[in-house]
Structure 1
Amino acid sequence: MIRRLFYLSLGAFLSLWVMRKLQALHPNHVARRTAHGAAGMLEQVRDFTSDALGEAAGREIELRARFGLDNPEHND
């Protein structure tokens, strides 16, 4: 009797688990997760690009000041 109850509850658990996994594969769910992931990745790329351009501009200002490229009398 205990063995039958164990296998009955195991079967119920596995069927619920399989149903949830199959529902997660529904095209609407997959599209929503993909769009959410792409939006997150796009935000990370924008942040990285903004940081990189800011650092490059700062370094350019530093180099121009160091080598005197901002002075009009040194331009040929």
Structure 2
Amino acid sequence: MIRRLFYISLGALLTLWVVRRLQALHPQHVARRTAKGAAGMLAQVRDFTSDALGEAADREIELRARFGLDNAETDD
């Protein structure tokens, strides 16, 4: 009797697990996860680009000051 109850419980748990996994593969769920991932990646790319451009501008100002090129446009 205990053995039967164990296997019935195991079968019910496995059935629930399989059903939940199959529901996670539903096209709407997959599309939603993909959209969230793409939006997150786009935000990371924007942050990186913003940081890189800011650092490049700071470095350019530093180099212009070091080599005396601050007024290069007015020397013509």
1:5-44 alignment, distance < 5 Å: 5-44=5-44
Q: Which residue of 1 aligns with 2:48?
A: 48
Superposed structure 1 runs of 4+ greater than 4 Å apart: none
Unmatched 5+ residue regions in structure 2?
none
TM-score between both structures, scaled by the size of structure 1: 0.93
Unaligned runs of 5+ in 1: none
- For residues 52 and 20 of structure 1, the distance between their equivalents in structure 2, rounded to whole angstroms, comes to 43
**CA–CA distance in structure 1, aligned partners of residues 14 and 71 of structure 2:** 76
Aligned length: 75
Taking only aligned residues, the RMSD between alpha carbons, in angstroms, comes to 1.4
Q: TM-score, normalised by structure 2?
A: 0.93
Distance in 2 between residues matched to 1:49 and 1:23, nearest whole Å: 37
Counterpart position of 1:2: 2
Aligned partners of 1:75 and 1:27: how far apart in 2?
A: 63
Q: Deviations over 1:33-53 (max 9, x none)?
A: 000000000000000000000
